[in-house]
Amino acid sequence: MTTPTPPPVPPARGRRRAPTRMARAAGRAAALQRPRVLLALLLLLALTCVLLLDGYLRAEVGGDERVRTGASASDVPDDVLDGGPILSFPGGQATTVSVPDRTIVLTFDDGPDPTWTPRVLEILEKYDVPGTFFLVGSMVSRHPGIVRDMVEQGNEVGVHTFTHVDLSYQSRARVTREIEQTQLALAGAAGITTTLFRAPYSSQTDAIDNYSWPVYQSLGEDGYTSVFVDTDSDDWKRPGVSKIVEWATPEDDEGASVLFHDAGGERSQTIEALPKYIEKMKAAGYTFTTVSGVMTEQQTQQTQQTQQTQQPQQTRQPGGSGSGGGSGGGGGLQAAHHAATGATLYEGKALIAAVAVAEWTVPALSAGLVVVGVAVLGRFAMMLVLARRHHRQRNRRRFSWGPPVTGPVSVIVPAYNEKECIEATLRSLAGSTHPIEIIVVDDGSTDGTAEIAESLGLPGVRVVRQANAGKPAALNNGVRHARCDIVVMMDGDTVFEPDTVRNLVQPFADPAVGAVAGNAKVGNRRTLIGAWQHIEYVMGFNLDRRMYDLLRCMPTIPGAIGAFRREAVLQAGGMSDDTLAEDTDITIALHRAGWRVVYEEHARAWTEAPGSLGQLWSQRYRWSYGTMQALWKHRRSLTDRGPSGRFGRVGMPLVVLFQVVTPVFAPLIDVFTVYSMLFVDLRAALLAWLAVLGVQLVCAAYAFRLDREKYRYLLMMPLQQLAYRQMMYLVLIHSCVTALTGGRLRWQKLKRTGEVGTPAGTTGAG
């Protein structure tokens, strides 16, 4: 072919300035992206904190059958083991207080529960009876309104730890944390703190042993009063209403601290037994009071005795000042309660607010997880079914696009600083079995790319120089210089097999076909990151294209290998620089113009994938953001008629669902897997994750079979799911943040190594 005179070459000075301007622009773009990266990371951190908080709040509550027995109590004073159920340490000396005869202290453990606690409160209010509720801090933070009502009704509250953990085997720091967190929850919920404490899995004082005694001593030194029981209803066993009433009744008119449960399990028997028990005890002449009521009465008796003997002594009041009350009404501040102020109050309110966010977020994410799970499995099913149908359809003996396409085509190679790759690219084209002209559009390269292309002396190669203007401008310039009706576009870092062009252009035998997508493959797959991308290309990209081809809504012709009717490109307005995904943009534009876009899996191109995580992030960030730009640009296709409307109502929803929405929320699968492993069931969560991985392996194996790839790369798929996929999730989330904040990116040049050489004229991959 005769090589025409190239257009005038811009002055060298101008070409030197272009990279400088690009460098400055890239620097400004990077500076603009940093806040968005930070915002994306902060959102991810916030989500992680919410899930951790929710998991911590949902730690196990209940299981009183795990009460420890058989431990020695040699360090515990005998007067404590044989004493009353109220243990305090005035002046550092262990002192116990018994409940007076014919007096009941109703105590309830493990609440508040949104189902059972309000019903207990209704019963207490109906019978004008007070209760002392030992609350689990995590439950308080989740149901603050119930606690507020409880305190306003005149009931008393105590600390039952934050996560219902057995404190006997915990460190001092853990014990302190459990108590302080519960106090913060009480402060945020009801504006109070309390001096009452009951340890989980505790019963009577004679059950104190050498393991738990130091805990009670330490808490006593901090001013806490530990409360045990005289009579246990054992309602958690659900033995029947009559048994609960019987077991809760003290003998011989003795007073008692009686234990019931308002949470931690199914408490319908407790709700039924409680009114019967109150009526029975009142009929027997019993009165009801709180722990503070007992201590106030004891203090009053001591004061009277002191006055009578005229020997005044200082007696410490464990729970502060004020009356405990012997009735349930009034809503006065119990002696054990203190108004929360200052930092405690505000930190408590912040805790309640954070828990409220978690309580709303986690169910919403759970619902999203269901949607994502259905979408992911649905996508896998669609890909498998439609890809198989596509494969069988295209490989039938009688399948043909029409008469063989034998006419010459123009191959356009846009190149900007491709000195490492341009020789391999052009030599692979020179070995083509189909007649071609090769147009290298040098986009203001400064590394001698154009000179290398010219020095090779390959037949049919033309070099067109232009000032640096970007890839879309280079492709449009190549189209203007093309002599043939069919143009093939490829990247400067890509190599073709000898039969690639011939296979790629055969669909143009159908006059309705306006463009053809080829089968892009990763050439530098020997590294770990290259192997991961190889799996993604075969499974994600090429399997997807089979599905989209069959549905006639192909969203993207890859920049590495695509063929177009020159007429169709010009009709669509050429390659646009409105978006960073010019390949997706032109593909959708062709659909809207009425052209058919198909996939030819036998036309293979070997491209150099990013070799580092940084370059991979830049490339996929640009792809993701560019795809969103293209979808937004062509959003009117949703309401168009004809071919444009078909893509808008079939192709666009699929692209949005499978390439934007599902990937954005797909991390929920991994996040909830970790969440379940930590807080729910490790074995079940791991099995569920492996099941999802198994489905992906099946799809990947089938994709590898269709592309005649070797299965050994699938051994890296579990690691890909653990590391590589997480990065892709972050990239897409980052792109969404950029789109939502109105950011704009520039096209970014990746560093090339020239690692992908000219392939042999064989089928399959090695």
Alpha helices in 310-448 (DSSP H): 342-394, 422-430
Q: Is 583 a catalytic residue?
A: no
Burial class from Cβ neighbours inside 10 Å (0-12, 13-18, 19+) for residue 715 reads exposed
Taking a C-beta distance cutoff of 8 angstroms, is the pair 541, 521 a contact?
Answer: no
The alpha carbon of 488 is separated from its chain's Cα centroid by a whole number of angstroms, namely 41
Taking a C-beta distance cutoff of 8 angstroms, is the pair 354, 361 a contact?
Answer: no
Active-site residue among 54, 64, 109, 443? Answer: 109
Given the DSSP bridges, would you call strands 436-443 and 461-466 parallel, antiparallel or unpaired? parallel
Q: Which residues pair with 606 in a beta bridge?
A: 495, 521
SS3 16: helix
SS3 575: coil
- How far apart CA 488 and CA 486 sit, in angstroms, is 7
Give me the DSSP letters along 514-565. EEEEEEEEES--SSHHHHHHHHIIIIIIIHHHHHHHHHT------TTEEEEE
Query: Residue 487 is encoded by which pair of tokens?
Result: 């143009």
SS3 227: strand
- How far apart CA 146 and CA 111 sit, in angstroms, is 10
Closest C-alpha among 105, 77, 78 to residue 298: 105
Q: Tell me whether the omega of the peptide bond preceding residue 610 falls within 30 degrees of 0, making it cis.
A: no
Given the DSSP bridges, would you call strands 192-194 and 337-339 parallel, antiparallel or unpaired? antiparallel
Taking a C-beta distance cutoff of 8 angstroms, is the pair 560, 542 a contact?
Answer: no
Which residues lie closer than 8 Å to 540 by C-beta, 6 or more apart? none
Residue type, 108: F
Closest C-alpha among 538, 740, 708 to residue 629: 740
Alpha-carbon distances, residue 696 vs 376, 700, 702 (angstroms):
10, 6, 10
Name the phi and psi angles at 354, rounded to 5. -65, -40
Query: Residue 299 is encoded by which pair of tokens?
Result: 């203090």
Given the DSSP bridges, would you call strands 486-490 and 561-565 parallel, antiparallel or unpaired? antiparallel
Phi-psi category of 228—alpha, beta or left, where left has phi over 0 and alpha has psi -120 to 50?
Answer: beta
Q: Is 109 a catalytic residue?
A: yes
In angstroms and rounded to an integer, the radius of gyration of the C-alpha atoms of the chain is 38
Active-site residue among 261, 390, 434, 634? Answer: 261
Query: Residue 562 is encoded by which pair of tokens?
Result: 């695509």
Strand order of the β-sheet with 461-466 is 461-466, 436-443, 409-415, 486-490, 561-565, 513-522, 596-607, 494-496
Give me the DSSP letters along 355-387. HHHHHHHHHHHHHHHHHHHHHHHHHHHHHHHHH
Query: Residue 513 is encoded by which pair of tokens?
Result: 């076909």
Tokens 């071609």 sit on residue:
436
Name the phi and psi angles at 441, rounded to 5. -100, 105
Query: Residue 76 is encoded by which pair of tokens?
Result: 């515990």
Taking a C-beta distance cutoff of 8 angstroms, is the pair 479, 570 a contact?
Answer: yes
Taking a C-beta distance cutoff of 8 angstroms, is the pair 647, 590 a contact?
Answer: no
Burial class from Cβ neighbours inside 10 Å (0-12, 13-18, 19+) for residue 399 reads exposed
SS3 14: helix
Residues noted as catalytic: 109, 261
